[in-house]
Amino acid sequence: MDKIALITGATRGLGFAMSEKLATLGFNVIMACREEKTGKISYEKLKSKNLDVYFEVCDVEKISDIDNLYKSVSKKFDHLDVLINNAGVNIEPASTKIENIDLKLFEKIMNINLRGPLYMCSKFIPMLKKSNDARIINFASGLAQLSVPRMGPYPSYSISKTAVNQLTWFLAEELKNTSVKVFSVDPGWVKTDMGGPDAMLEIGEGIDTPIWLATEDAAKLKSGFFYKERKIIPW
């Protein structure tokens, strides 16, 4: 049975690199991209390498887009092996304080970073259950950790990613008697549009752990946990 992976935020950065890597490893990769024009360019780059990639438009902030994505994917494929909830934003000033927070901005960040992955999981779990070895990989962040001294910046982003870890835990419990495993991952501070040029890691380093989680022997992985550099880290 062909291995099928669905990746959100696949236009650039980590999402594009993961799409290329999994396709190179033999997966059929569905690239879900927010913007049709730039997404198509990214898709064509991989298609020109004779990789098995498929293009879909999906802005995870829009419930209707996720509904339409499910309809399209479920018509093309009868199962799903890997769902990577990579799409996310960090669009508030680092110095933002709760006392003067922009609620519209907070809501947008939560809708993209948390509600989007939650609804993606809700829609695609039936397809994942049809695989005998399925994985959900939710992108969190080091800023989500409650077990380390508070770094301070980006409260909305940090709150959304902490909630993603809780989502991972709930899903793992809900799916523990199925073939679906669920993980959160911190890719580290990576040189992407979000991470900026001063980040410590190259994109290839940032995708190492999520690709490992997508392909490693399931018996060696613990569902419901938070991973970084191929190791479980504290919440």
Looking at the DSSP bridge assignments, the partners of residue 228 are 231
User: CB of 184 within 8 A of CB of 227?
Assistant: yes
User: CB of 119 within 8 A of CB of 59?
Assistant: no
Provide the pLDDT for residue 116. 99
Provide the pLDDT for residue 29. 99
Provide the pLDDT for residue 119. 99
Provide the pLDDT for residue 142. 84
Mean pLDDT by 10 residues, the chain (235 residues): 96 97 99 98 98 99 99 98 98 93 97 99 99 98 79 87 98 99 89 68 92 98 98 93
Helix axes of 116-128 and 63-76: crossing angle, nearest 10 degrees = 20
- Quick one: tokens of 70? 């499910």
What domains sit in the chain, N to C, each tagged with a CATH number? 4-233 (3.40.50.720)
Provide the pLDDT for residue 148. 76
The model's pTM is 0.96
Long-range contacts of 87-91 (CB under 8 A, 24+ apart): 87/8, 87/9, 87/15, 87/32, 87/34, 87/60, 87/112, 87/116, 88/9, 88/112, 88/113, 88/139, 88/160, 88/161, 88/194, 89/113, 89/157, 89/194, 90/154, 90/157, 90/194
Class of residue 129 by CB neighbours under 10 A (exposed 0-12, middle 13-18, buried 19+): middle
Catalytic residue at 154? no
Identified catalytic residue from 70, 119, 157, 227: 157
